[in-house]
Amino acid sequence: MADSFIEVVAQDGGRFNAYIARPAQGSGPGLVLLQEIFGINETMRSTADRFAEEGYVVLVPDLFWRIKPGISLGYGEADMKQALDYLGRFDVDLAIDDIAATVATLRALPEQAGKVGAVGYCLGGKLAFLSAARTDVDCAVSYYGVGLEANLDEVPAVRCPMVFHFPENDAHCPPETRERISAALRTRPQIEQYVYPGCDHAFAAPSRPQYDKPAAMMAYSRTLALLRKVLGPVYDLNALWEAHCYYEFATRDVDAVMPTMVAQPYVNHVPTMTGGVGHDKLKHFYTHHFVNSNPADTKLIPISRTIGADRIVDEFIFSCTHSCEIDWLLPGVAPTGKYFEVPMLAVVCFRGDKLYNEHIYWDQASVLVQVGLLNPEGLPVAGIESARKLLDETLPSNQLMGTKSRV
């Protein structure tokens, strides 16, 4: 990993290392990633690599270098004790100077293009806040920052956009303290803050027992929304999704589909749990059960498309004649020759300029009714009319309610 570090010259003349992660594109906006109390460990390095996939040139400065260079701790009891000892000897003011030196070094790199932001976790969450108040970063994000209440007098100095992520049940920040912090932050209109119900400190750290994946994913999207807005890079997600679908349904070319996705993507068709995780399994699925398994008259009718910072929500109608076995949609069902239309919803997540995952939803009961495998008599199930009403809102509502709809 030696070639993944660069040297930073501190403002007082000292020298320390910073882990660097570069985007595949070769250049991009800058991001300073600020450590927890465990040093530049595997979690921080993998997080930096993930942000590099998003298009950023990332530096993770060794902020414990004045105590002991190169600290990389795990999350066990002994390492926690050691980390707390380092924290007790940590000088916050000198650390902010070191962060300022890191920002300057990052801005001077030939591969860094445009603005620079900061993202920090735990101790780094506090340092991200203070960096926004004391340095020239262009935006900052704080995850469960510890001890923020001690520096609320610096909130007025924060002039760049910021996002704060607060877990509801953070033992290091009880509700009354969080409310005091929140009240101070509300005085700055460019600051966003979010509370994650039921979550504890370190909810965004995959290697720790407090990890909460849904909350971490939500927080990550909100973080990325700020970074994209202030720093860029901005990718044409619509064009990327259109190209992906073109190779899937028009040219039916698996070898063209796969390069539109990250190295290890996953796809989940939620009602049937078909798809794949990882390049090889997904390519096998696409080859043998999806791209070449759709009927000749397959058609996608667009209804709406919502585009966010890192995902697309695509609403459409899928229609075809069940003239061949459709493994991903009706696995194990022999062709019935029946025509059907069904509303579908695709939630497509991107990482940088590549698709990362797809969650596809539809009403399987409606499909089963239309192909003759489910008798709708006495059941609250709609057939093709559920798709037709998306195209014509004047069609009657509440038909399944019978006489109750007239009460």
Q: What is the pLDDT of residues 366-391, one digit of tens each?
A: 999 999 999 999 999 999 999 999 99
Q: Which H/E stretch holds residue 223?
A: helix 213-230
| pLDDT (tens digit per residue) in 97-140 | 999 999 999 999 999 999 999 999 999 999 999 999 999 999 99
* Given the residues 62, 170, 314, 327, the one annotated as active site: 170
Tell me the three state secondary structure of residue 377: coil
Q: What is the residue-wise DSSP string for 84-139?
A: HHHHHT--HHHHHHHHHHHHHHHHHSTTEEEEEEEEEETHHHHHHHHHHHHS--SE
Question: Which residue has 């995902």 as its token pair?
Answer: 311
Tell me the three state secondary structure of residue 380: coil
Whether 147 has a pLDDT exceeding 50, the answer reads yes
Q: Where are the domains of the chain?
A: 2-230, 237-406
> Does the fold of domain 237-406 match that of domain 2-230?
no
CATH 1.10.3720.10 corresponds to the domain 237-406: no
| Structure confidence at residue 349 (pLDDT) | 97
Q: Note if 122 is an active site residue.
A: yes
Q: At what angle do helices 92-108 and 123-134 cross, to 10 degrees?
A: 70
Contact 123, 40 (CB under 8 A): no
Tell me the average pLDDT of the chain: 96
Give the separation between CA 78 and CA 74, rounded to whole angstroms.
Answer: 9
What the block records as the tokens of 84 is 């707390």
Q: Note if 392 is an active site residue.
A: no
Average pLDDT over residues 5-21: 97
| Structure confidence at residue 31 (pLDDT) | 98
| Structure confidence at residue 316 (pLDDT) | 98
Whether 221 has a pLDDT exceeding 80, the answer reads yes
Whether 406 has a pLDDT exceeding 90, the answer reads no
Question: Which residue has 């902010």 as its token pair?
Answer: 96
* Given the residues 165, 200, 201, 353, the one annotated as active site: 201
Contact 346, 313 (CB under 8 A): yes
Give the separation between CA 245 and CA 260, rounded to whole angstroms.
Answer: 10
* pLDDT bracket for residue 402 (50, 70, 90): confident
Contact 98, 12 (CB under 8 A): no
Average pLDDT over residues 206-231: 97
Q: Which H/E stretch holds residue 11?
A: none
From the CA atom positions of the chain, what is the Rg in Å? Answer: 25
Tell me the three state secondary structure of residue 246: helix
* Given the residues 62, 98, 122, 349, the one annotated as active site: 122
**CATH for 2-230?**
3.40.50.1820
| Structure confidence at residue 2 (pLDDT) | 42
Q: Note if 139 is an active site residue.
A: no
